Amino acid sequence: MPVDPKPRWGVRFTSNPAKTLAYIQSLYDDNADNVKRGELFLNELTTELLYVGEDGIAKRVGQSVPVPYSSINFSGIREFATDSAAAAATPPIPVGGLYHTGGYLRVRMS
């Protein structure tokens, strides 16, 4: 399957323990538009942080309490001064998407 040239950045949160690695893989296998490269899934109950890699395989970023965010590669996150600038970008940062300002990680809120 070809790699999506426009990855979706953001984090989906759940407290449903059934939403595991196998669940994320089945979402991707059923329809690759359900899960995009760069989109993270955080299961708060199992403390797992999951994603689908460029190879189409669901993977676990970390599993411990708390989830070790320092192990996530944030190098692809773009820099903007404001939420407005992130929204006006091409492609835009979606609401809930990540960007940074001077090295500070931000979530687009509006």
CA distance 61 to 68: 8
CA distance 77 to 9: 8
pLDDT at 75: 67
Taking the model in full, what pTM does it have?
A: 0.47
22: part of which helix (H) or strand (E)?
helix 21-30
β-strands 104-107, 98-101 pairing: antiparallel
What lies within 8 Å, CB to CB, of 72 at 6+ separation is 40, 49, 61, 62
Closest CA to 74 of 44, 105, 101: 105
User: pLDDT-based confidence at 91, cuts 50/70/90?
Assistant: confident
Q: Which tokens go with 98?
A: 């990540």
Give the mean model confidence (pLDDT) for residues 68-90. Answer: 77
Q: Which residue has the higher pLDDT, 8 or 36?
A: 36
| Average pLDDT over all residues of the chain | 76
Domains in the chain: boundaries = 1-73, 76-110
